[in-house]
Amino acid sequence: MEGSMEDVRSTLLVQELAGMRSKAVPRQYIVQQEDQPTIAATASVPIVDLGRLSQPDGDANEAVKLRQAMESWGLFMVTNHGIEDALMDNVMNVSREFFQQHLGEKQKYTNLIDGKHFQLEGYGNDQVKSDTQILDWLDRLYLKVDPADERNLSVWPKHPESFRDVLDEFLIKCDGVKNSLLPSMAKLLKLNEDYFVRQFSDRPTTIARFNYYPQCPRPDLVYGMKPHSDATILTILMVDNDVGGLQVLKDGVWYDVPTKPHTLLINLGDHMEIMSNGIFKSSVHRVMTNPEKERISVVLFYFMNLEKEIEPALELIDERHPARYKRVKIMDYLAGLFEHFLQGTRVIDTVKI
Ligand SMILES: O=C(O)CCC(=O)C(=O)O
Ligand SMILES: [Fe+2]
Protein backbone atom coordinates (compact mmCIF):
# COMPACT_ATOMS: atom_id res chain seq x y z
CA MET A 1 0.00 0.00 0.00
CA GLU A 2 1.20 3.47 -0.80
CA GLY A 3 3.17 5.09 2.00
CA SER A 4 3.26 1.99 4.17
CA MET A 5 6.09 0.34 6.04
CA GLU A 6 5.09 -3.24 6.62
CA ASP A 7 7.27 -4.83 9.26
CA VAL A 8 6.76 -2.76 12.33
CA ARG A 9 4.94 -4.10 15.37
CA SER A 10 1.71 -2.21 15.92
CA THR A 11 2.38 -1.97 19.62
CA LEU A 12 5.37 0.32 19.27
CA LEU A 13 4.74 3.69 20.77
CA VAL A 14 4.10 6.30 18.16
CA GLN A 15 6.97 8.30 19.57
CA GLU A 16 9.28 5.37 18.71
CA LEU A 17 7.87 5.17 15.19
CA ALA A 18 8.30 8.88 14.67
CA GLY A 19 11.86 8.56 15.94
CA MET A 20 12.71 6.22 13.03
CA ARG A 21 12.28 9.20 10.71
CA SER A 22 10.91 7.00 7.96
CA LYS A 23 8.98 8.66 5.15
CA ALA A 24 6.41 5.89 5.39
CA VAL A 25 4.04 4.81 8.14
CA PRO A 26 3.04 1.28 9.21
CA ARG A 27 -0.11 0.11 7.44
CA GLN A 28 -2.06 -0.13 10.72
CA TYR A 29 -2.16 3.67 10.85
CA ILE A 30 -3.44 4.23 7.33
CA VAL A 31 -7.14 4.97 7.18
CA GLN A 32 -9.46 3.60 4.49
CA GLN A 33 -9.47 5.72 1.39
CA GLU A 34 -13.05 6.95 1.91
CA ASP A 35 -12.21 8.10 5.45
CA GLN A 36 -8.97 9.87 4.60
CA PRO A 37 -8.49 13.43 5.84
CA THR A 38 -10.01 16.10 3.64
CA ILE A 39 -9.32 19.81 3.37
CA ALA A 40 -11.07 21.76 6.10
CA ALA A 41 -12.45 25.27 6.24
CA THR A 42 -11.28 27.71 8.89
CA ALA A 43 -13.95 28.19 11.49
CA SER A 44 -15.15 31.17 13.41
CA VAL A 45 -15.56 29.01 16.46
CA PRO A 46 -17.57 30.99 19.03
CA ILE A 47 -15.45 32.68 21.72
CA VAL A 48 -17.16 33.21 25.06
CA ASP A 49 -15.85 35.67 27.67
CA LEU A 50 -16.47 33.77 30.90
CA GLY A 51 -16.00 36.80 33.15
CA ARG A 52 -18.77 38.63 31.35
CA LEU A 53 -21.01 35.61 31.03
CA SER A 54 -20.98 34.95 34.75
CA GLN A 55 -21.61 38.51 35.91
CA PRO A 56 -24.59 38.55 38.31
CA ASP A 57 -27.06 39.76 35.68
CA GLY A 58 -25.33 37.84 32.89
CA ASP A 59 -24.23 39.45 29.68
CA ALA A 60 -26.74 39.10 26.86
CA ASN A 61 -24.07 39.11 24.14
CA GLU A 62 -22.07 36.35 25.74
CA ALA A 63 -25.22 34.30 26.34
CA VAL A 64 -26.11 34.61 22.64
CA LYS A 65 -22.68 33.29 21.68
CA LEU A 66 -22.99 30.51 24.23
CA ARG A 67 -26.37 29.53 22.82
CA GLN A 68 -24.97 29.43 19.28
CA ALA A 69 -22.07 27.33 20.50
CA MET A 70 -24.26 24.89 22.38
CA GLU A 71 -26.90 24.51 19.68
CA SER A 72 -24.76 24.24 16.58
CA TRP A 73 -21.02 23.85 17.19
CA GLY A 74 -20.90 21.80 20.37
CA LEU A 75 -17.50 23.38 20.87
CA PHE A 76 -16.34 26.86 21.86
CA MET A 77 -13.37 28.81 23.18
CA VAL A 78 -13.37 30.43 26.58
CA THR A 79 -11.39 33.56 27.41
CA ASN A 80 -11.23 35.55 30.66
CA HIS A 81 -11.57 32.24 32.52
CA GLY A 82 -9.47 33.24 35.50
CA ILE A 83 -6.70 30.63 35.07
CA GLU A 84 -3.32 32.35 35.06
CA ASP A 85 -1.21 32.03 31.90
CA ALA A 86 1.68 30.81 34.06
CA LEU A 87 -0.34 27.87 35.39
CA MET A 88 -1.47 26.89 31.89
CA ASP A 89 2.13 27.12 30.67
CA ASN A 90 3.24 24.99 33.61
CA VAL A 91 0.71 22.28 32.78
CA MET A 92 1.93 22.22 29.19
CA ASN A 93 5.56 22.21 30.30
CA VAL A 94 5.25 19.33 32.75
CA SER A 95 3.28 17.36 30.15
CA ARG A 96 5.97 17.98 27.55
CA GLU A 97 8.69 17.07 30.04
CA PHE A 98 6.90 13.83 30.82
CA PHE A 99 6.68 12.82 27.15
CA GLN A 100 10.26 13.86 26.44
CA GLN A 101 11.70 11.43 28.97
CA HIS A 102 13.34 8.15 28.01
CA LEU A 103 10.94 5.41 27.13
CA GLY A 104 12.08 3.34 30.11
CA GLU A 105 11.09 6.08 32.50
CA LYS A 106 7.63 6.43 30.96
CA GLN A 107 7.11 2.69 30.80
CA LYS A 108 7.01 2.69 34.62
CA TYR A 109 3.49 4.01 34.14
CA THR A 110 2.52 1.66 31.31
CA ASN A 111 -1.11 0.85 30.54
CA LEU A 112 -0.16 -2.75 29.77
CA ILE A 113 -0.18 -4.96 32.85
CA ASP A 114 2.56 -7.62 32.55
CA GLY A 115 3.27 -6.19 29.13
CA LYS A 116 0.03 -7.50 27.67
CA HIS A 117 -3.23 -6.84 29.55
CA PHE A 118 -4.59 -3.47 28.63
CA GLN A 119 -6.01 -1.07 31.21
CA LEU A 120 -7.28 2.41 30.47
CA GLU A 121 -5.13 4.12 33.04
CA GLY A 122 -1.48 4.80 32.46
CA TYR A 123 0.86 5.57 29.59
CA GLY A 124 0.78 4.00 26.15
CA ASN A 125 -1.48 3.78 23.14
CA ASP A 126 -4.99 2.49 22.49
CA GLN A 127 -5.89 -1.11 23.12
CA VAL A 128 -5.10 -3.14 20.01
CA LYS A 129 -7.98 -5.57 19.52
CA SER A 130 -7.43 -6.84 16.00
CA ASP A 131 -5.05 -6.83 13.07
CA THR A 132 -7.41 -4.74 11.04
CA GLN A 133 -7.81 -2.00 13.64
CA ILE A 134 -6.73 1.41 12.41
CA LEU A 135 -4.48 3.08 14.93
CA ASP A 136 -4.16 6.75 15.81
CA TRP A 137 -0.88 8.63 15.66
CA LEU A 138 -0.61 9.46 19.34
CA ASP A 139 0.61 8.28 22.70
CA ARG A 140 -1.21 9.27 25.83
CA LEU A 141 -1.20 9.27 29.58
CA TYR A 142 -4.63 8.60 31.09
CA LEU A 143 -5.31 9.29 34.78
CA LYS A 144 -8.49 9.04 36.79
CA VAL A 145 -8.36 12.13 39.01
CA ASP A 146 -11.83 12.02 40.61
CA PRO A 147 -13.15 10.57 42.84
CA ALA A 148 -9.86 11.44 44.54
CA ASP A 149 -9.94 8.33 46.73
CA GLU A 150 -9.93 6.20 43.58
CA ARG A 151 -6.68 7.65 42.23
CA ASN A 152 -4.20 5.00 41.21
CA LEU A 153 -1.06 6.89 42.13
CA SER A 154 1.19 4.16 40.78
CA VAL A 155 0.50 5.48 37.27
CA TRP A 156 0.89 9.15 38.21
CA PRO A 157 4.29 10.43 37.01
CA LYS A 158 6.87 11.20 39.66
CA HIS A 159 8.91 13.15 37.13
CA PRO A 160 8.90 16.01 36.55
CA GLU A 161 8.63 16.45 40.29
CA SER A 162 6.04 19.20 40.10
CA PHE A 163 3.72 17.15 37.85
CA ARG A 164 1.21 16.21 40.55
CA ASP A 165 1.05 19.61 42.23
CA VAL A 166 0.68 21.43 38.94
CA LEU A 167 -2.05 19.05 37.82
CA ASP A 168 -3.88 19.38 41.14
CA GLU A 169 -3.83 23.16 40.93
CA PHE A 170 -5.07 23.04 37.33
CA LEU A 171 -7.87 20.62 38.27
CA ILE A 172 -9.16 22.97 40.95
CA LYS A 173 -9.12 25.91 38.54
CA CYS A 174 -10.83 23.96 35.76
CA ASP A 175 -13.50 22.78 38.17
CA GLY A 176 -14.18 26.46 38.83
CA VAL A 177 -14.47 27.11 35.08
CA LYS A 178 -16.90 24.22 34.73
CA ASN A 179 -18.97 25.42 37.65
CA SER A 180 -19.19 28.93 36.26
CA LEU A 181 -20.31 27.68 32.85
CA LEU A 182 -22.95 25.20 33.97
CA PRO A 183 -25.51 27.69 35.41
CA SER A 184 -25.46 29.72 32.19
CA MET A 185 -26.02 26.53 30.20
CA ALA A 186 -28.97 25.59 32.41
CA LYS A 187 -30.44 29.09 32.04
CA LEU A 188 -30.40 28.79 28.25
CA LEU A 189 -32.73 25.81 28.62
CA LYS A 190 -34.85 27.55 31.26
CA LEU A 191 -33.85 24.85 33.73
CA ASN A 192 -33.05 25.51 37.35
CA GLU A 193 -29.68 27.25 37.47
CA ASP A 194 -28.15 24.43 39.47
CA TYR A 195 -29.55 21.66 37.25
CA PHE A 196 -26.21 20.66 35.71
CA VAL A 197 -24.14 21.46 38.80
CA ARG A 198 -26.34 19.01 40.74
CA GLN A 199 -25.46 16.22 38.32
CA PHE A 200 -21.92 16.44 39.65
CA SER A 201 -22.86 16.41 43.33
CA ASP A 202 -22.40 12.73 44.15
CA ARG A 203 -19.00 11.18 43.35
CA PRO A 204 -18.58 12.37 39.78
CA THR A 205 -15.73 10.96 37.71
CA THR A 206 -13.06 13.12 36.11
CA ILE A 207 -10.39 11.77 33.77
CA ALA A 208 -7.26 13.66 32.77
CA ARG A 209 -5.76 12.65 29.47
CA PHE A 210 -2.46 13.96 28.12
CA ASN A 211 -2.18 13.45 24.38
CA TYR A 212 1.15 13.48 22.60
CA TYR A 213 1.12 13.59 18.79
CA PRO A 214 4.62 13.21 17.33
CA GLN A 215 5.48 14.53 13.86
CA CYS A 216 3.93 12.32 11.21
CA PRO A 217 5.33 11.87 7.69
CA ARG A 218 1.87 11.23 6.15
CA PRO A 219 -0.79 13.61 7.45
CA ASP A 220 -2.74 12.83 4.28
CA LEU A 221 -3.20 9.17 5.31
CA VAL A 222 -3.15 9.14 9.10
CA TYR A 223 -5.20 10.66 11.92
CA GLY A 224 -3.85 11.95 15.18
CA MET A 225 -7.25 10.98 16.59
CA LYS A 226 -10.14 9.57 14.59
CA PRO A 227 -13.50 11.39 14.48
CA HIS A 228 -15.49 10.98 17.68
CA SER A 229 -17.60 12.77 20.24
CA ASP A 230 -16.77 12.63 23.95
CA ALA A 231 -19.06 10.56 26.19
CA THR A 232 -18.94 13.23 28.88
CA ILE A 233 -21.19 15.98 30.13
CA LEU A 234 -18.47 18.33 29.06
CA THR A 235 -14.77 18.30 28.32
CA ILE A 236 -12.21 21.02 28.97
CA LEU A 237 -9.42 20.96 26.45
CA MET A 238 -6.15 22.85 26.51
CA VAL A 239 -4.35 22.55 23.19
CA ASP A 240 -0.84 23.38 22.10
CA ASN A 241 -0.26 27.14 21.88
CA ASP A 242 0.85 27.13 18.28
CA VAL A 243 0.39 23.73 16.67
CA GLY A 244 -3.16 23.32 15.36
CA GLY A 245 -4.75 20.08 14.22
CA LEU A 246 -8.10 19.91 15.97
CA GLN A 247 -11.09 19.96 13.63
CA VAL A 248 -14.80 20.05 14.35
CA LEU A 249 -17.69 18.85 12.18
CA LYS A 250 -20.59 21.27 11.71
CA ASP A 251 -23.42 20.72 9.25
CA GLY A 252 -21.39 18.09 7.44
CA VAL A 253 -18.30 20.30 6.97
CA TRP A 254 -14.98 19.93 8.82
CA TYR A 255 -13.56 23.15 10.26
CA ASP A 256 -10.08 23.83 11.59
CA VAL A 257 -10.19 25.07 15.15
CA PRO A 258 -7.59 27.84 15.28
CA THR A 259 -5.07 27.97 18.13
CA LYS A 260 -5.32 30.90 20.51
CA PRO A 261 -2.80 30.76 23.35
CA HIS A 262 -4.19 30.61 26.88
CA THR A 263 -7.78 30.10 25.89
CA LEU A 264 -9.56 26.91 26.87
CA LEU A 265 -11.76 24.88 24.57
CA ILE A 266 -15.02 23.41 25.80
CA ASN A 267 -16.44 20.35 24.09
CA LEU A 268 -19.99 19.39 24.86
CA GLY A 269 -20.24 15.68 25.36
CA ASP A 270 -22.98 13.21 24.48
CA HIS A 271 -24.44 13.32 27.99
CA MET A 272 -25.07 17.05 27.71
CA GLU A 273 -26.84 16.41 24.40
CA ILE A 274 -29.00 13.75 26.07
CA MET A 275 -29.86 15.82 29.16
CA SER A 276 -30.81 18.79 26.96
CA ASN A 277 -33.03 16.42 24.92
CA GLY A 278 -31.05 17.25 21.80
CA ILE A 279 -31.26 21.05 22.05
CA PHE A 280 -27.53 21.16 22.70
CA LYS A 281 -25.21 19.20 20.40
CA SER A 282 -22.16 17.23 21.38
CA SER A 283 -19.29 18.00 19.04
CA VAL A 284 -17.84 15.52 16.59
CA HIS A 285 -14.15 16.30 16.36
CA ARG A 286 -10.89 14.79 15.14
CA VAL A 287 -7.18 15.58 15.19
CA MET A 288 -4.92 15.91 12.16
CA THR A 289 -1.20 15.16 12.28
CA ASN A 290 1.61 17.55 11.46
CA PRO A 291 4.69 16.64 9.38
CA GLU A 292 7.03 19.07 11.14
CA LYS A 293 5.88 19.61 14.66
CA GLU A 294 4.85 17.53 17.62
CA ARG A 295 1.67 18.57 19.41
CA ILE A 296 0.39 18.19 22.97
CA SER A 297 -3.09 18.55 24.38
CA VAL A 298 -4.36 18.19 27.94
CA VAL A 299 -7.94 17.09 28.31
CA LEU A 300 -10.27 16.89 31.32
CA PHE A 301 -13.31 14.68 30.83
CA TYR A 302 -16.19 15.37 33.22
CA PHE A 303 -18.67 12.56 33.82
CA MET A 304 -21.34 12.22 36.44
CA ASN A 305 -21.29 9.28 38.86
CA LEU A 306 -20.69 6.28 36.58
CA GLU A 307 -23.14 4.13 38.58
CA LYS A 308 -26.03 6.40 37.63
CA GLU A 309 -28.36 6.61 34.68
CA ILE A 310 -28.70 9.47 32.29
CA GLU A 311 -31.85 10.77 30.58
CA PRO A 312 -33.31 13.97 29.14
CA ALA A 313 -34.25 16.56 31.80
CA LEU A 314 -37.90 15.89 32.63
CA GLU A 315 -38.58 19.64 32.63
CA LEU A 316 -37.86 19.70 28.88
CA ILE A 317 -40.34 17.00 28.00
CA ASP A 318 -44.03 17.41 27.25
CA GLU A 319 -46.51 16.32 24.59
CA ARG A 320 -45.03 18.61 21.99
CA HIS A 321 -41.46 17.74 22.97
CA PRO A 322 -41.22 14.00 23.56
CA ALA A 323 -38.01 12.46 24.89
CA ARG A 324 -35.57 11.93 22.04
CA TYR A 325 -33.16 9.69 23.97
CA LYS A 326 -33.71 6.59 26.06
CA ARG A 327 -32.63 6.46 29.67
CA VAL A 328 -29.30 4.62 29.84
CA LYS A 329 -26.81 3.50 32.46
CA ILE A 330 -23.62 5.47 32.11
CA MET A 331 -21.55 2.31 32.55
CA ASP A 332 -23.41 0.68 29.65
CA TYR A 333 -22.93 3.78 27.55
CA LEU A 334 -19.19 3.77 28.16
CA ALA A 335 -18.90 0.04 27.54
CA GLY A 336 -19.76 0.54 23.85
CA LEU A 337 -17.60 3.56 23.34
CA PHE A 338 -14.31 2.14 22.07
CA GLU A 339 -15.95 -0.25 19.61
CA HIS A 340 -17.98 2.61 18.13
CA PHE A 341 -14.87 4.78 18.00
CA LEU A 342 -13.11 2.12 15.94
CA GLN A 343 -16.09 1.64 13.63
CA GLY A 344 -16.55 5.38 13.11
CA THR A 345 -20.09 5.17 14.51
CA ARG A 346 -21.60 6.91 17.55
CA VAL A 347 -22.98 5.43 20.76
CA ILE A 348 -25.47 8.29 21.02
CA ASP A 349 -27.25 7.02 17.92
CA THR A 350 -28.04 3.78 19.76
CA VAL A 351 -30.04 5.59 22.47
CA LYS A 352 -32.02 7.85 20.13
CA ILE A 353 -35.76 7.27 20.12
O1 LIG B 1 -5.95 16.77 21.02
C2 LIG B 1 -7.01 17.35 20.81
O3 LIG B 1 -7.06 18.52 20.39
C4 LIG B 1 -8.34 16.66 21.03
C5 LIG B 1 -8.27 15.45 21.90
C6 LIG B 1 -9.59 14.77 22.05
O7 LIG B 1 -10.53 15.02 21.33
C8 LIG B 1 -9.77 13.76 23.10
O9 LIG B 1 -8.80 13.44 23.81
O10 LIG B 1 -10.93 13.27 23.25
FE1 LIG C 1 -12.39 14.23 22.12
Best probe residue, ligand 1, of 95, 242, 287 (max atoms within 8 Å of C-beta) = 287
The pLDDT value recorded for residue 131 is 82
Cα-to-centroid distance, 287 and ligand 1 (Å): 7
Opening angle at CA 49, ends 45 and 50, nearest 5: 120
- Residue pLDDT tens, the chain, 353 long: 445 444 344 568 898 888 888 888 888 899 888 788 777 787 789 999 999 998 877 678 899 999 999 999 999 999 999 999 999 999 999 999 999 998 889 999 989 888 778 888 999 988 888 888 899 999 999 999 999 999 999 999 999 999 999 999 999 999 999 999 999 999 999 999 999 999 999 999 999 999 999 999 999 999 999 999 999 999 999 999 989 999 999 999 999 999 999 999 999 999 999 999 999 999 999 999 999 999 999 999 999 999 999 999 999 999 999 999 999 999 999 998 988 888 889 999 999 99
User: How many domains are there within the chain?
Assistant: 1
The ligand that comes nearest to the alpha carbon of residue 136 is: 1
Is residue 7 domain-resident?
no
Is residue 5 domain-resident?
no
d(C-alpha 295, C-alpha 306), whole Å: 31
Pocket of ligand 1 (CB under 6 A): 209, 211, 225, 230, 237, 239, 246, 285, 287, 297, 299
Is residue 9 domain-resident?
no
Is residue 8 domain-resident?
no
The residue whose C-alpha atom lies closest to atom 3 belonging to ligand 1 is 246
| Residues ≥6 apart with Cβ < 8 Å to 245 | 213, 224, 239, 287, 288, 289, 290, 295
The number of the ligand 1 atom at minimal distance from the alpha carbon of 246 is 3
Best probe residue, ligand 1, of 285, 294, 298, 340 (max atoms within 8 Å of C-beta) = 285
The pLDDT value recorded for residue 74 is 96
d(C-alpha 262, C-alpha 259), whole Å: 9
The pLDDT value recorded for residue 58 is 66
The pLDDT value recorded for residue 4 is 47
Is residue 332 domain-resident?
yes
The pLDDT value recorded for residue 162 is 97
Owning domain of residue 86: 14-350
pTM: 0.95
| Residues ≥6 apart with Cβ < 8 Å to 110 | 122, 123, 124
The number of the ligand 1 atom at minimal distance from the alpha carbon of 213 is 1
ipTM score: 0.99
CATH number at residue 164: 2.60.120.330
The pLDDT value recorded for residue 267 is 97
Best probe residue, ligand 1, of 225, 240, 243, 302 (max atoms within 8 Å of C-beta) = 225
Is residue 3 domain-resident?
no
